[in-house]
Amino acid sequence: MTLPPRLTVILTPERHSVLFALKGIIAMGLALYLSMLMQLERPYWALISAVFLQVRPETGLVIEKGLCQIGGTLVGGAMGLLILATLLPYPFMALLALTLWIGLNAAASAWVRQANFIYGFAMAGITATLIVVISIANPTTTSSVGIFHVANARVSEIIVGAVCATLVSNLLWPARVSHLLQKHARGALNQTLAYLELELNPAGTHAQRHIQVDTLLQSIFPLSDDSSAVLYEGAQGPGRARAATVICHKTLSLIARIRVIGRLMRNHGELLTPALEDMLESLRQSFKRMRETQSAEDAMEEVQSLRQQLRTASGEQDDDASPLQRRFFQVALNLTADIILALEANRALHFSREMQLRPQGLKPYRDLQIAAAVGIRSALVFMIAAGLWIGTASPMAIMLMIMPVIFTILFARLPEPDVVLRRATITSVLAAPVALFFTLPLLALSNGDFPLLILILGAPLFVALLAISNPTTLAYGLGFCTPYIILVQPGNAMDFDVARVASNGLAITGGIFIAFMMFRLITPPNGPGLRRRLIRDTADDLAMIGHHRHRINEEGFNARMADRLRWLTICDKALPEERRHFTDLGLTGLNLGQVSLWVQGRINTHTSPALQDSAAQWQQSLADAYQACARGHSDDRFRADSERLKTAMAEAGNMEQRNQELITGAVERIALTFERMASRLAGTAQLDGTGENGSKTG
């Protein structure tokens, strides 16, 4: 009998899951012991703090999250004190200020990519909530001394949990971010080689290529996001972080370059010369051999052999070879150079070699409407909970203002946050029965013995931590773990009030369900407006390449494009199959940026003012033509400015003939790309309701 995959995680756990759960229990036990020893008011917040830090158990990630948690806690504590100091006589105004603070933190979290930094914003919001709401709910503590005591207790509890989790992560069965990066890099490189081969496969379909590039793009973001945490793992950390970032950049460059060659093969077969056909076959066979090999060293030897073969073939071209053919040989050579650099970076990850390149990290796409959607959603969840609290005057309503708010911030960047919250809601329902019929009766008989407390409390938590250790069951484990701790509330002065546990359990489950409904009702924008902004921002970056005062290199352009591509794939998923062209548009923009940088680099080495003016005008025309093709239009000015650029190169008198031919080939290829994309997108603008210049049609 085969167990379902989700039950397998619990009933037949792997070794790493068992170690993860043991570390979690030890961290929580240590946090609880110290909190009780220090006579902290609510030790269970130290346990919750330790749980969240253990979600990603790698040492560097735990340290980074611990620092973000402590920083967010201190900022949130200061804001809570400020709200109470100014608005304590006006509880409604204090709650309104708290709502605004939560919304601002949630919105700010949408402007960062790393989960640890998002968690820091969540802690800033929830710490202020704990301080303000508990102070308002207990009028006897509203003196300045009492308020400071509440703030100090909440901050201390959370910091104790963070410190304990960090110590346990470092000292017991430590898992390293460097090993995680190696795994991410291996997956990204394998996905890249599979995509390179698929692009040159005549039998490959558009749908297959779209799925593969989407999978590839998703694989580079964990590599980029987790690289910041490897800095905390010794002297080799910065070098490993740079190596991981190099792999991300070269993966993006490889995607852009191979698409150029693949589109020529599929859409312009009449332009393929025998030399180009031989080159395509060499690339296809080499990519297949690299993908099939299990050795990075063999892959390196294969790509170096391919590069030498391409150099020989490029040098043996006929004198009358077309500029387009010469350009495509150059693209193929650049592609092999990118593969070599990616493999070198992968080697640096494994053998701690110093990476000399210092590329920019991938930048998050920052959109005000996306941030507003995330902020409004979290603020509304808090407002609903606050309204229920005010309307019912029930202490259990306070629970509605805590966990749901954390979840709305932490889960906002997930691909399907509503699915995650639905799973968390299911297991949160189980927390109350387990607390009522298992934990509390046994704890009542333990007579305050701490080892028994940990054994009884830890049994259900161990199962939940096993679930958290696996991404497919993480939501179930987290949905049980945190409500269970809040319901039991272990500490020095425990009560065993059945009514309190039942009512709080109902409140927590109801709050998580409210958060789930908010995710269904308020979703980040993915319609025509967001698509227009993504394309416009890409066009602005393309135009910036032509301005000398805004110098941008390939890594900088890739860094700005990466998250835009992710959002364009999200936009595509919201459209019918026949209208999913926006990922292609984003990848086209990525390639146009790389080609533009190459062209401008060749031209700016020459000092002719007329040539530089023509190049700047051509760059602006390219950006305008890109926006035009996104609306399904062809911009004839690009052709005209391209001809002027060719004339200016010829009249400059100091450009090598080979460079002129390569630039001419690149310009011709770009013109073909614009015409093809405009033809494909001719009907999309009308379906989106956009007309000329992206304005709404009547």
Give buried/exposed letters for 207-218 (b at 16+ CB in 10 A, else e).
Answer: eebbebbbebbe
* 172 and 187 belong to one structural domain: no
The CA distance from 381 to 405, in Å, is 7
Render pLDDT for 307-344 as a digit per residue (tens, 0 to 9): 998 888 888 887 777 887 888 888 888 889 999 999 98
Name the residue range of residue 62's domain: 5-176+364-521
DSSP 447: T
* Amino acid 687: pLDDT: 47
Q: Are residues 479 and 576 in the same domain?
A: no
Question: Which pLDDT belongs to residue 696?
Answer: 38
Do 207 and 282 lie in a common domain?
A: yes
* pLDDT tens per residue across span 173-205: 888 888 888 888 988 888 898 888 888 888 878
Burial class (CB in 10 A: 0-12, 13-18, 19+), 19: middle
Cβ atoms 164, 50 nearer than 8 A: yes
Residue 301, in any domain of the structure: yes
Q: Does residue 359 belong to any structural domain of this protein?
A: no
**What is the distance between the alpha carbons of residues 254 and 444, in angstroms, rounded to a whole number?**
63
**In this structure, what token pair is assigned to residue 436?**
């009522």
Give pLDDT, residue 559: 86
Task: Please count the other Cβ atoms lying within 10 Å of the Cβ belonging to residue 288.
Answer: 17
Residue 368 belongs to a domain:
yes
Is residue 586 domain-resident? yes
Asked if 407 and 332 sit in the same domain, the reply is no
Per-residue confidence (pLDDT) for residue 403, from 0 to 100: 78
pLDDT band at 697 (very low <50, low <70, confident <90, very high): very low
User: If pLDDT is split at 50, 70 and 90, which confidence band does 597 have?
Assistant: confident
Of 306, 324, 351, the position where a domain reaches its end is: 351
Same domain, yes or no, for 307 and 213?
yes
pLDDT digits (tens, 9 = 90+) for 221-257: 888 888 888 888 887 888 888 888 889 988 988 888 8
637 and 551 in one domain? yes
pLDDT in tens, 10-43: 888 888 889 999 998 999 999 999 999 988 888 8
Which has the closest alpha carbon to 593: 627, 619, 632? 619
Q: Looking at the domain assignment, is residue 358 inside a domain?
A: no
C-alpha separations of 477 from 92, 110, 184, 405, 415 in Å: 36, 25, 24, 18, 19
Of the pLDDT bands very low, low, confident and very high (cuts 50, 70, 90), residue 434 is very high
Q: Which residues are within 8 A (CB) of 307 and not within 5 positions of it... i.e. 6 or more apart? A: 333, 336, 337, 340
Q: Is 66 within 8 Å of 31 (Cβ atoms)?
A: no
Quote the pLDDT of residue 353. 62
CATH of the domain at 201: 1.20.120
Q: Which residue has the tokens 């333990």?
A: 446
195 and 334 in a single domain? The answer is: yes
* DSSP track, 285-300: HHHHHHHH-S-HHHHH
Give the pLDDT confidence score for residue 600 in this predicted structure.
84
265 pLDDT band (50/70/90 cuts)?
Answer: confident
If you average pLDDT over every residue of the chain, what do you get?
A: 84
Mean pLDDT of 595-600: 85
CA distance 571 to 565: 10
Q: Residue 354 — pLDDT band, cuts 50, 70, 90? A: low
- Under the banding of pLDDT at 50, 70 and 90, the label for residue 352 is low
Q: Are residues 440 and 567 in the same domain?
A: no
Residue located via tokens 């969240």 = 52
Residue 357 domain-assigned (yes or no): no
Whether the pLDDT of residue 563 is over 90: the answer is: no
Shared domain for 331 and 389, answered yes or no, is no
Last residue of a domain, one of 319, 351, 383: 351
For residues 201 and 270, state if they share a domain.
yes
Select from 300, 323, 351 the last residue of a domain. Answer: 351
Q: pLDDT category, 693, cuts 50, 70, 90?
A: very low
List of residues 6+ apart from 474 with CB closer than 8 A: 55, 467, 468
Q: Are residues 329 and 181 in the same domain?
A: yes
Q: Work out the pLDDT band at 503, boundaries 50, 70, 90.
A: confident
In single-letter form, the type of residue at position 344 comes to E
pTM of the model: 0.84
Concatenating the DSSP letter of every residue in 187-244 gives HHHHHHHHHHHHHT-TT--HHHHHHHHHHHHHHHHHHHHHGGGGGGSSTTHHHHHHHH
Residue 672 lies in a domain: yes
The percent of residues in the chain predicted with pLDDT above 70, rounded, is 94
Do 428 and 509 meet the contact criterion of CB atoms below 8 Å apart? yes
Q: What mean pLDDT is predicted for residues 404-422?
A: 83
Residue 685 has pLDDT above 60, yes or no: no
Q: What pLDDT is recorded for position 2? A: 67
What's the rounded Cα separation, in Å, for the pair 328 and 670? Answer: 12
Question: Is 474 a residue whose pLDDT tops 80?
Answer: yes
Q: Is the pLDDT of residue 695 over 60?
A: no
CA distance 642 to 622: 9
Number of domains in the chain: 3
State yes or no: pLDDT of 680 exceeds 50. Answer: yes
CATH number at residue 602: 1.20.58
The stretch 284-302 carries a mean pLDDT of 86
Beta-carbon contacts of 163 under 8 Å, excluding residues fewer than 6 positions away, are: 66
**Is the same domain home to 577 and 495?**
no
> 58: helix, coil or strand?
strand
Q: Is residue 44 part of a domain?
A: yes
Q: Is the pLDDT of residue 102 over 90?
A: yes
The C-alpha atoms of residue 65 and residue 71 are separated, in whole angstroms, by 10
- Higher-pLDDT residue of 579, 585: 585
Which tokens belong to 500?
């309190």
